[in-house]
Chain A
Amino acid sequence: MTFQEISDKLKENFKDSILEVKIVSPADSSVKVTSNNWRDIARFLRDDPSLKFDYLMCLSGVDYGKGVLGTVYNIYSMTHKHRVNIKIEVNSDNPEIPTVSDIWPTANWHEREVYDMFGIKFIGHPDLRRILMPDDWEGHPLRKDYQVAEFYRGIKVQY
């Protein structure tokens, strides 16, 4: 399916949850959705026979600045060889997005990484711990307003 058909199909089924459809090139067009309905959309993307998005390629967090955080899901279908990019934006004061780690198990570690780097909480995640940084690290390093602490366990951090 082309991106146009995929986004039309999403609009048909989740009219209220689709915020924006951005068409650039076939590979980089994206659909922005609301976070509250995300699990239903994700399950639909995976299970609908004409979509069959079974392969979550990448899940990235982005800090858009001005208090907006976001996640980007690059999803591919091994069956139909088509792809779609889904974006979700949340407020950085209390960033919460429902988990999709039961829908695509690979999201488990990717969501942990986004949590570690951006502090976005994935609601319903079975094991939301830091993954790359030490467990007692302060702050979320990839946020644009991140200030590194002077000391970590008595070790000077910045040189």
Chain B
Amino acid sequence: MPETNLENITTSTGRPLRHEEVVVNVGPQHPATHGVLRLEVVLDGEIVVDVIPHIGYLHRCFEKHAESMNNYQQVVPYVDRMDYCAAMNMDFGYVLAVEKLLGITVPERVEYIRVIMAELQRIASHLIAAGTYGLDIGAWTPFLYMFRERERILDLFEMTCGARLLYNYMWVGGVSHDLPPGFIDKAKDFCSYFRPKVKEYNDLLSYNDIFIRRTANVGVLPADVAIAYGCSGPVLRGSGVDFDIRRDDPYSIYNRFEWQPQIGRGEMGTTGDCWDRYMVRIREMEQSINIVEQALNQIPDGDVFSAIPKRIRPNPGEVYVRTESARGELGFYIVSDGSGSPYRVKGRSPCFSNLSVIPEISRGCMVADLIAIAGSLDIVLGEVDR
């Protein structure tokens, strides 16, 4: 971190230069805050002295809404709107939690469909993350390249359930529609189309000299700090912690596939810098393609909905179920009192914890690096504020 001793700076006539701290608001409306986030930044010249994040601008009372629903199924559309860039992952976490509360299992085919959707969604979400990260730093073209591929994933979702952003696709006990005819072939086509694209991103952005200089050694998040602040997902793995819930606390059928969690190794600088966090996402996309391909080859025929009553009444009890969403550990803590509506639903959003680390890693950096750091955390405010 740069140390500047401002006390000794004088003009050529020997007069000491006056300096004082200023407060600059980044956001709530600012293209680099990825939503309505306000960063109250205390600056000494161009050096960040402190960052105070202000959140809550997008608070839509998700938890209060969930309590007032008269059916567990009705919460799913609200869950979609938490992380609108990875709605399938959100649905997945919630329905798994309710299914665990009910103690039911779902048909084999449903498990495969869910994994395929969740991994495609992870790719789509990482494409947004990496694309807009390039945009934050001043690279316009990679954003367009990545959105081109994302469109093809959204086409697959659209042919499955009709929606392109908020799907309401995974329901408690199953999924809303079976895969349409031709989906498997189209998804396989996408996999083979997508693999070479990753090299394109690397050539264009990842190993671009300017990009590396903007991100390497910037915003270094040491592994112990990441764990203490409850960071998860690519932010945690970027710091070199080999932890992925899909492997270490497996849910659904993730233990059937062969893939490797990706971690940051400090290739361009220090382990846990912005480049590592970015690169973990790029590499995870390839791993997700591996999972999707295996799942497409193994998917069995069968029902897409298990026989459960229309109005679910779980026994009194509570569960905390966590899944690996595109941004990290998505947990749902649900308390049931035996009635038809949830007594308490708490969404533990990964971005909430990931964002809370920003003051810790930004102190002492330049103000332009703050933008690089905020982008590398890949926050979605819909999920931070719920």
> Which residues of B are interface residues toward A (Cβ below 8 A)?
55-56, 59, 61, 63-64, 67, 227-230, 241, 243, 248-249, 317-320, 322, 329, 331, 333, 335, 344, 346, 348, 352-353, 356, 360, 385-386
Q: Which 7 A-B pairs have the closest CB atoms?
A: A106-B230, A60-B346, A58-B348, A132-B56, A132-B59, A109-B356, A74-B320
The contact of B352 among A74, A109, A133, A142, by CB within 8 Å, is A109
Q: How far is the CA of A132 from the CA of B229 in the complex (A)?
A: 19
Query: Can you list 18 A-B pairs with a CB-CB distance of less than 8 A?
Result: A28-B319, A55-B230, A57-B320, A57-B329, A58-B320, A60-B333, A60-B348, A61-B346, A72-B318, A74-B333, A78-B227, A106-B228, A106-B229, A109-B356, A130-B56, A132-B385, A133-B59, A141-B64
Q: With A109-B352, A109-B353, A109-B356 given, is the CB distance from A54 to B227 under 8 Å?
A: yes
Q: Do residues B317 and A24 form an inter-chain contact, with CB atoms below 8 A? A: yes
Q: Bound state CA distance, A108 and B241, in angstroms?
A: 22
**Chain A contacts to B: CB under 8 angstroms:** 24, 27-28, 54-58, 60-63, 72, 74, 78, 81, 85, 104-106, 108-109, 117, 130-134, 141-142
The reply to whether A58 and B331 contact each other, CB–CB distance below 8 Å, is yes
Q: Kindly name the residue among B248, B333, B360 whose own CB sees the greatest number of chain A CB atoms within 10 A.
A: B333
Question: A28: which of B67, B320, B352 is its contact (CB, 8 Å)?
Answer: B320
Q: Is the CB of A28 within 8 A of B61?
A: no
Determine the main DSSP class of B at the interface with A: mixed
Provided the pairs A78-B241, A132-B55 are in contact, do residues A55 and B227 lie with their beta carbons within 8 angstroms?
yes
The reply to whether B64 and A142 form a contact with Cβ atoms under 8 Å apart is yes
Chain B residues positioned under 8 Å from A85 (CB to CB) = 320
Inside 8 A of A142's CB, which chain B residues have their CB?
A: 63-64, 67, 344
Shortest distance from the beta carbon of B351 to any chain A beta carbon, whole Å: 11
The smallest beta-carbon distance between A113 and chain B, in angstroms, is: 8
Q: Are B317 and A28 in contact (CB under 8 A)?
A: yes
- Alpha-carbon gap, A60 to B319, bound state (A): 12
Q: Chain B residues near A81 (CB, 8 Å)? A: 248-249
Minimum C-beta distance from B245 to chain A (A): 10
Taking A57-B320, A60-B346, A78-B227 as known contacts, 5 extra A-B pairs with beta carbons closer than 8 A to each other, sorted by chain A number, are A27-B319, A60-B348, A109-B353, A132-B59, A132-B385
Most chain B CB neighbours (cut-off 10 Å) among A54, A62, A131: A131
- A78 and B243 in contact, given A28-B318, A58-B320 (Cβ under 8 angstroms): yes
